Structure 1
């Protein structure tokens, strides 16, 4: 343990400690020092974290804090902190609280006036975004997609008009179904990046129009395995046609019953838009 640096670890403090998402060399020197010196490590899976600690020769006591017991154990952990214990919170991989346990504990600590110290470190969201080639000036992390197709399509519909880059986590056994639902809502031309097995041996970061990405994944089962991040390009202004989605939907419905010019005129009045812009959009996007 002589190669682990020494840092000052404060009593009565919760440390948020990111751990590697794949490559163990990505752990920071400060993270090692904190894990080595705190009184307790609260871990999502003590067996998983135990392997990490063993690798670095760290013998700090661990306790389990996961989705199923966090709300019940949070008060117990806060009590230990207020008694002067120093505790590190870790998840199985990456930064705690980012689609991982920890929110309830940190919230209780804030309410109780307990000091919370975050350490910077590995995070799959930021790692994927930095290498994606998609705009990174504005983005939103949307977490894991819903498990059911209807809910997934509703989520994609809700986000379809967003101009920022969208980032999702997805599991390997649902990736093809999720891509199919995304294709149904966003269409084949939207740029999407699949970042898979980041920092690991078989790391893959592949960008393509959604229709091509689906075919690429279907053709290679290996691209359907491992930890996955999906990044979706925001809707570009020129793709929005400067027409609100509701106006386009209304025009499409009206055009089924009325001549396009008449449908465009009605929509223009309803949504305070230019009739010619609606008519042009209809000519380009609606079946004659």
Structure 2
């Protein structure tokens, strides 16, 4: 598995170049695209295709080629193979057939953007592309709004503005985000700040209407239990007399913005002691 540059061709490693020269075949998503890289480094090798259309059909053929003793290099159009690209089945079948899989380190837009985000990087989650369907996309962002880890997304430039608007609406206008366009390329542009400020910056800029986009979103910070005022306990105590404890907690959570799990842990335990 050989990562290829995500923009600047000089980002490829010496080891990757050496492997691409030595293997029997190179499996690529797009022959024309990969040929640009190979020609730049004077690499001549036979190219095979593996894409979203032929993946199921071709995978077994390539396993047979490996069984015959050949070495294959898997590359994507840009970045680390299999991350949002074809190749998962090939890797899985290789393990199923006791064929050695060797991953090489290299370019990845998600990790490159994260390293430049200035946001927490010791804990993060990668969500890839959000759904193209409006309601599903909204549901995904709503679910991610409670994520404590830093969130990494890929996005199409055509949907970028709408996605930032949803982040602003659902996660809050002050949620810290980073939007990176065309990382490592000549037109690289990285903007960091509150969701509303980023939206203002890029909304009327035509340069953001094309290119590859990575979005980094700051995770939510839990409010500490000791920060819950005594009046919150009193309010829930009053409301729970008219309904259940869980319903009272949900109501107060919506009004005052405290995470429900924090209220449950602090308040239910308090009521248990009282009872």
CA contact (8 A) 1:139 1:166 kept: yes
Cα 1:129–1:212 shift into 2, 3 Å: same
What is the CA–CA distance in structure 1 between the aligned matches of 2:219 and 2:47, rounded to whole Å? 42
What is the CA–CA distance in structure 1 between the aligned matches of 2:174 and 2:121, rounded to whole Å? 20
Deviation at 1:261, TM superposition (A): 8.4
What is the CA–CA distance in structure 2 between the aligned matches of 1:146 and 1:240, rounded to whole Å? 35
What is the CA–CA distance in structure 2 between the aligned matches of 1:228 and 1:172, rounded to whole Å? 7
What is the CA–CA distance in structure 1 between the aligned matches of 2:132 and 2:126, rounded to whole Å? 17
Deviation at 1:156, TM superposition (A): 0.7
Runs of 4+ in 1 over 6 A off after TM superposition: 239-243
Q: Which residue does the alignment assign to 2:100?
A: 115
Q: Which residue does the alignment assign to 1:53?
A: 38
Cα 1:113–1:183 shift into 2, 3 Å: same
Deviation at 1:260, TM superposition (A): 9.3
Show the 5 A alignment for 1:10-25: 16-25=1-10
Question: Structure 1, residues 200-246: CA drift from partner, whole Å, max 9, x if none?
Answer: 11211111111111111113221332110001000011399989xxx
Q: Which residue does the alignment assign to 1:236?
A: 221
Match 2:188 to one of 203, 215, 235: 203
Please tell me whether residue 270 in structure 1 is matched to residue 255 in structure 2.
no
Which SS does the other structure have where 2:219 is aligned?
A: coil
TM-score (norm 2): 0.84
Show the 5 A alignment for 1:126-137: 126-137=111-122
What is the CA–CA distance in structure 2 between the aligned matches of 1:165 and 1:238, rounded to whole Å? 17
Unpaired segments of 5 or more residues in structure 2?
A: 229-234, 259-275
Question: Structure 1, residues 105-153: CA drift from partner, whole Å, max 9, x if none?
Answer: 1001011111110000000011000001110010011011111211110
Kindly report the root-mean-square deviation, in angstroms, between the aligned alpha carbons of the 2 structures. Answer: 2.7
Which SS does the other structure have where 2:63 is aligned?
A: helix
TM-score (norm 1): 0.81
Cα 1:89–1:233 shift into 2, 3 Å: same
Q: Which residue does the alignment assign to 2:52?
A: 67
Q: Which residue does the alignment assign to 1:97?
A: 82
What is the CA–CA distance in structure 1 between the aligned matches of 2:76 and 2:250, rounded to whole Å? 53
Cα 1:120–1:284 shift into 2, 3 Å: closer
Match 2:15 to one of 30, 38, 50: 30
Question: Structure 1, residues 61-104: CA drift from partner, whole Å, max 9, x if none?
Answer: 00111111111111000000010010000000000011111111
What is the CA–CA distance in structure 2 between the aligned matches of 1:147 and 1:274, rounded to whole Å? 31
CA contact (8 A) 1:217 1:224 kept: no
CA contact (8 A) 1:44 1:92 kept: yes
CA contact (8 A) 1:149 1:178 kept: no
